[in-house]
Amino acid sequence: MPRFSRRDLLKLAAIVPPAVTLTRMVSDRNLSLSNQNTAQPNVIIVLFDAMTARNLSVYGYERETTPNFKRFAKRSTVYHSHNSAGNFTVPGTSSLLTGLYPWTHRGLNLGGSIARDIVHRNIFNLIGKDYQRIAFAQNIWADYILSQFQGDIDLTLPPTMFGISDHILGDKFRDTNLAYRALDDFLFYSSTPGSTAFYPIEKALHSIAVAQNESPDYPKGLPKDATHPILYRLDDLFSGLSSFVNRLSPPFLTYFHLFSPHYPSRPTKKFIGKFDKNKWQPVNKPVHRLSDHVSKINIRNERDGYDEYLATIDDEFGKFIDTLDASGLMKNTYLILTSDHGEMFERGETKHNTPLLYDPVVHIPLIISAPGQQERNDIYSPTNSVDVLPTLLSLVGKEIPEWCDGQLLPGLGGKDDTNRISFTVEAKQSFIFSPIKIGTIAMRKGKYKLIYYTGYEKEDSFELYDQENDQEELNDLYSSQPQLAASLRDELLTRFQEENKKRA
């Protein structure tokens, strides 16, 4: 799996015309295919990290955060009840790329690794060598996962690609997973840096880069990774992505894992204060006992900044779509817009580092535009991120493996299944080879969602919601509908215990 640093690409750009730089780079690395099948459709996956569907106006949010998503939706299949299989990057991304639930792929914790016997079960391997397979993740946690698929990816772009500064060290090594942990995480950017000598130096160099690249367009600072020194401008990012894909030879599969709108929120000046005149207020919800007990004012401020950031991202995404349309690429391309997990601004909690699995942190966007599609198709039946892999394989004429947990998406080969059962797993305190002892499991069956908390307190507990009639999840039915609750509880616990026995 060739990896290029941003310096490598700049050197190439200096010696060859920009129009052929990327094409020549791909050819030099044996990515050109001798028997290209141009009839095969391309696949572009654009994943926005930590993007909740609940704050997108394309899904009915009261603030107009995503007018360009709405425009894109007019020629797409829009999934209104799409859940992630996890509530943070590692499980959410792993489930999307493997079609497996977290208790199977074992990408459960912040270690960022999936089980070795699962590694070959990924979209890059399954789509096959007749596709150019390219991956790019601005989020180092996502790159941990991609590095495990290195034998199945033809080209992995470094996280600093399309960025402003290059202070990441791990992407210069072949084993990036190990290098990120040994260098970037351990020596410099963990909560307790392993090197008191090099950390201040690297910190100072990054501070200089930040100061040199201050922009009036970004009064709150440039978009950046939450923990690593990755700075970028959204306009550079999207123009770079569109230029890159337009130079690829079909057919190709690209997976673009973008860090925004993950915190910290960095909207442009154009969108700061955009919603100040909007008097809408979210529903007031009780503070959950397992939350971080964040104050209401801090929750409100973080929501405002997040919404402004969404509007900034949407603006640039609109230009990205226009560029792809102008090039004619969309005539033979599936474009998938989605996320790895959502974000919370309620119940005493912000962000997604939480044991909670309420709708805002698991309800994510899924909008898929097929080649040449001109009409909107809305799907309201429940779907899950594990469904993306089998659906994409079906769309490009590949075999769907029997081990896949997902099923074909309605509207793209699948059928509406009102009684379909799907799961979201939160178990970041669990180990890769051990049963889950502390965690939260959400089971969706039809319109009902059962949440199971285990290991946090002396006794396990459950919550039950009717998501069709109680989208805000305010009316817990677990005690008032005992028969329904017992039936769903038995189904969830049976599956949970079966999965745990596999790792006992």
The DSSP result for 89-152, as a single string, is: HHHHHHHHHHS--HHHH---STT----GGGTT-SHHHHH-TTSEEEEEESSHHHHHHHHTTGGG
Q: What is the model's pLDDT at position 111?
A: 79
In a domain, 461, yes or no: no
Range of the domain at 207: 166-212
How many CB atoms within 10 Å of residue 115? 18
Q: What is the model's pLDDT at position 432?
A: 87
Inform me whether the pLDDT recorded for 484 exceeds 70: yes
Percent of the chain with pLDDT over 90: 75
51 and 176 within one domain: no
331 and 286 within one domain: yes
In a domain, 458, yes or no: no
The pTM of this model reads 0.90
In a domain, 6, yes or no: no
Residue after which a domain boundary falls, among 371, 390, 413: 413
205 and 345 within one domain: no
Q: What is the model's pLDDT at position 105?
A: 96
320 and 267 within one domain: yes
In a domain, 13, yes or no: no
293 and 362 within one domain: yes
In a domain, 390, yes or no: yes
Q: What is the model's pLDDT at position 26?
A: 41
In a domain, 68, yes or no: yes
141 and 59 within one domain: yes
Q: What is the model's pLDDT at position 180?
A: 63
pLDDT, tens digit (0-9, with 9 covering 90-100), for 147-196: 999 999 999 999 989 988 766 666 666 666 656 665 566 655 555 555 55
* β-pairing verdict for 77-79 and 366-369: antiparallel
Contacts of 2 (CB under 8 A, 6+ apart): 29, 154, 155, 156
In a domain, 482, yes or no: no
Q: How confident is the model at residue 27 (pLDDT cuts 50, 70, 90)?
A: very low
For residue 167, give both structure tokens: 């202070």
Give dist(CA 399, CA 386) in Å, integer: 16
391 and 343 within one domain: yes
Q: How confident is the model at residue 28 (pLDDT cuts 50, 70, 90)?
A: very low
Three-class secondary structure of residue 465 per DSSP:
strand
194 and 160 within one domain: no
Give dist(CA 374, CA 177) in Å, integer: 41
Residue after which a domain boundary falls, among 369, 397, 413: 413
CATH code at position 78 = 3.40.720.10
246 and 101 within one domain: yes
Q: What is the model's pLDDT at position 270?
A: 97
Evaluate the omega torsion of the peptide bond into residue 17 and state whether it is cis, within 30 degrees of 0. no
The arithmetic mean of pLDDT across residues 391-406, rounded, is 97
180 and 72 within one domain: no
282 and 153 within one domain: yes
Q: How confident is the model at residue 301 (pLDDT cuts 50, 70, 90)?
A: very high
- Average model confidence (pLDDT) across the chain: 88
The arithmetic mean of pLDDT across residues 308-323, rounded, is 98
Identify whether the C-beta of residue 416 lies closer than 8 Å to the C-beta of residue 116.
no
Residue after which a domain boundary falls, among 194, 212, 230: 212
Q: Residue 407 CA to chain centroid, in angstroms?
A: 19
pLDDT, tens digit (0-9, with 9 covering 90-100), for 100-110: 999 999 999 88
Give dist(CA 61, CA 53) in Å, integer: 8
316 and 178 within one domain: no
Three-class secondary structure of residue 388 per DSSP:
helix
Q: What is the model's pLDDT at position 17?
A: 36
Identify whether the C-beta of residue 158 lies closer than 8 Å to the C-beta of residue 138.
no
Three-class secondary structure of residue 464 per DSSP:
strand
In a domain, 358, yes or no: yes
Domain count, the chain: 2
